[in-house]
Chain A
Amino acid sequence: MKLRRLAIRNFGPYYDEALIEFPSDASRNVLLIYGDNMRGKTSILNAIRWCLYGVAKDRQGEPLTLLKLVNRYGQEQGQWEAVVDLDFEASGKVYKLRRVAKLRTRLARPKSNDDFTLSQFLEIQGQAVTADQVPIEIGRVCPEQISRFVLFDGELLQEYEALLIEESEQSKKIKAAIEQVLGIPAIQNGLIDCKTLLRRAQAMQAKQVKQTDSLRAQAENLEHLQAVLSQKEKEWYRLGEQERVIGGEITALDVYLASVKAAEQRAEQVRSAKAAIAAHEVAKREAEDERFSILKDAWQDVLQPMLRSRLVDLDLEAKSFNEVTERRGGLAERIKQLNALILQRICPVCEAEPSEEKRATLARSLAEAEQELKEISVDESRRNEVLQTIQDLRSVGSRDSVQRLTEVDKRVHRAEMGITEKQSLLDSLNREITSVDTGEIAQQRQLRDQKQQTLGVVRASKAAAEREISETVSKIDNLSAMLARADAGRHHKVTLEVETYRQLGDLFENGIAQFREDVRGDVEKAASEIFCRLTTEPNYSGLQINEQYGLSILDSRRHVVPLRSAGAEQIVALSLIAGLNNVSGKDTPMIMDTPLGRLDAKHRKKVLEALPDMAGQVVLLVHDAEIGVQAGLEEIAPRVASRLDIQRVSETRSRLVRRVE
């Protein structure tokens, strides 16, 4: 399979047509598509997957709904038609595949996948293929089971670790996919078909041999055993069907319980959001109370300018009272001194008797002082009033109301923002939660446990039926062989048919075991060679494959390395994929999203050097840090056919442009 062209419209972040031409030159077989996170790298991988198989997955491997796939800008414009075209070549033929999702008529806005119609169109060499044949043709070229080796997310390669766990469901699926890549189903089907046809031929053999009198009893016994086998096979199929139905019911219950678990988690988030809203509301209420309290005293700040003016006046008045009081005190002291001087006969300075003139001067000064003291009286009542008023006015201090109100308003705003944010989350969560009924959940869990027990009983019965079938088949085969010998050629066409089916069946049965052994060895060898090329640890000597195609790292003494890092896991998984591509002989492309995310610089360099040889076409969806202009590009540059950039147009739209260096 060789990809030619991919066109994406109104899908993922691509509203306008995004066109990718894949490399056509084997010597320059690498296409690099650069994009920052959230720009649409995985959407390219998903567009190919959706076009081929009608499924797109998120990074958890869960299917994405069409509501999530249709471009958001397109949705806003009422444009709900998403189209992906994929042109490719296989077995020398040109395939043109188109998948379209359209909104059902008379619907303005879809609510689920059921509101869309899906169509797939395929032309092979210009000839249209009927709708029912499209999946079959796609299955022939690139079956969905093997797409995990074609389209994959580099960061999710650790899922191959499941291969090492015997009998895990994931392990079975991957093993089946690997064996499909390796061509084992053809031999498996050969075994199934030959066994089925052998049973029919043996029935015919019994019918014909019964005509020979001497063999009638054995022939009738053979018919009886065939009837018993038919009965047991019916029972086995019935049990198988029961197993399938119960398994389906358990899966449905698991899905329900998983969704409930998600809903329970959502419910927890709802509780948390409600608690946060309550806390914000308390904070808001407290802030509002404080604002009210501030406003209650804010009149004081309003009065402050007038109060300050009044205080200045009163302070001046109080000051003048003080000055007068001081003056009066001074005058009283002077009067006291003058009286003392007048009464003294000898001057304390010159010790002479003062002259009359001097005495007269003292008497005048005394009179003047007494006069002045009389004139500058203090209104004590007014003074007390002024001082009291000053004290009262000073108690009406500044409340800093404006600043405090600004702070409180900020707190109210923050609380309101918090409430809005949490309310929005709450609305979103409530939309997701229909109802979480704990009683119902407990009941469903109990039902699941019961079903699991029933499944165990059914499986045990089925295993017993299998043993009985095997014993009956053995008896039939022995009797059929005996009849063939005894019949001695009288009905030898049917006898030869029986013998031929048996021989073919035996060959297919032995062939499966042999072929599995061979291809496992081939995969181990090819993967080991690639692993040794990729690893930076000189002591690693290769890989060891197990029955499930799981790979273990071997050290220099060929002992299994017990622990390995996520990066080593990625290297091992890449080695397995490259080994499978190598052994299968199928020239499938490799499209990797974030291929180098877990690797250190040395491994990155080695992987980049090896990647172009791992598949006929290699498409790497990367960001600049993975393969940048500064580092990484030089290892791969000679093999790069072209480089594209995913550019942001808006939050909801991206576009693809050729990278200009």
Chain B
Amino acid sequence: MDDQGLEVLLALAKEYPKGFRDLLMRVFEVERLFEADDQRELAQQRVSDLVSAYASEHASAEPR
């Protein structure tokens, strides 16, 4: 069922670049690992790290 959740998200993100879809998968994995209410801060820190790394990687490559 967890995979089905990810499948739904990936289907919605099918127009997005692969890098973003990979990020989405990693963020979903974090959320699945830290599902409990008392783990929100930990999950947010991990997601923040993932997005920061993604932005660093793509910022210069995809100037806006």
Contact = CB atoms under 8 A, between A and B. Distances in A.
Interface of A: 136, 139, 181-187, 189-190, 192-194, 196-197, 200-201, 484, 487-489, 492-497, 500-501, 503-504, 507-508, 510-511, 514-515, 518-519, 522, 583-586
A518 B4 contact: yes
Most buried by A among B52, B55, B56: B55
A497 B52 contact: yes
A519 B4 contact: yes
A190 to B, nearest CB: 4
B35 interface: yes
B40 A192 contact: yes
Contacts, number: 104
9 contacts: A139-B36, A183-B2, A194-B27, A196-B44, A201-B51, A492-B64, A497-B52, A504-B23, A504-B24
Task: Decide if the interface of chain B is mainly helix, strand, loop or mixed.
Answer: helix
Given A186-B28, A187-B5, A518-B4, A500 B36 contact: no
A505 B8 CA distance: 14
Contact of B55 (A181, A185, A196, A496): A496
B14 to A, nearest CB: 11
A496 B48 CA distance: 13
Nearest to B46: A193
Contacts of A194: 27, 47
A189 B1 CA distance: 16
Contacts of B44: 193, 196-197
A583 B1 CA distance: 7
A52 to B, nearest CB: 16
Sort A-B residue pairs by CB-CB distance and give the 8 closest, nearest first.
Answer: A493-B59, A496-B55, A489-B63, A186-B32, A183-B1, A186-B31, A190-B31, A497-B55
Contacts of B62: 496
A484 B20 contact: no
Contact of A183 (B4, B40, B51): B4
Contacts of B5: 183-184, 186-187, 511, 515
Contacts of A488: 64
A343 B56 CA distance: 174
A468 B49 CA distance: 31
A169 B32 CA distance: 26
Nearest to B63: A489
Given A500-B20, A503-B16, A187 B47 contact: no
A524 B49 CA distance: 39
B11 to A, nearest CB: 8
A187 B31 contact: yes
A513 B35 CA distance: 19
Contacts of A139: 36
Interface of B: 1-2, 4-5, 8-9, 11-13, 16, 20, 23-24, 27-28, 31-32, 34-36, 40, 43-44, 47-48, 51-52, 54-56, 58-59, 62-64
A584 B4 CA distance: 10
A511 B9 contact: yes
B51 A500 contact: yes
A183 B4 CA distance: 9
Contacts of A187: 5, 8-9, 28, 31
A615 to B, nearest CB: 15
Nearest to A484: B64
Contacts of A583: 1
Given A183-B32, A194-B27, A511-B9, 13 more contacts: A186-B5, A193-B43, A197-B51, A200-B48, A201-B51, A496-B54, A496-B59, A500-B51, A503-B20, A504-B27, A507-B24, A511-B5, A522-B4
B28 A190 contact: yes
A208 to B, nearest CB: 13
A500 B54 contact: yes
Contact of B64 (A489, A514, A519, A522): A489
Contact of B9 (A200, A201, A508): A508
B7 to A, nearest CB: 9
A507 B9 contact: yes
A522 B40 CA distance: 29
B24 A136 contact: no
B51 to A, nearest CB: 5
Given A136-B36, A493-B55, A514-B12, A585 B1 contact: yes
B1 A182 contact: yes
Contact of A496 (B27, B32, B58): B58
Contacts of A494: 55
Contacts of A186: 2, 5, 28, 31-32, 35
Contacts of B1: 181-183, 519, 583-586
A492 B51 contact: no
B8 A515 contact: yes
A511 B5 CA distance: 8
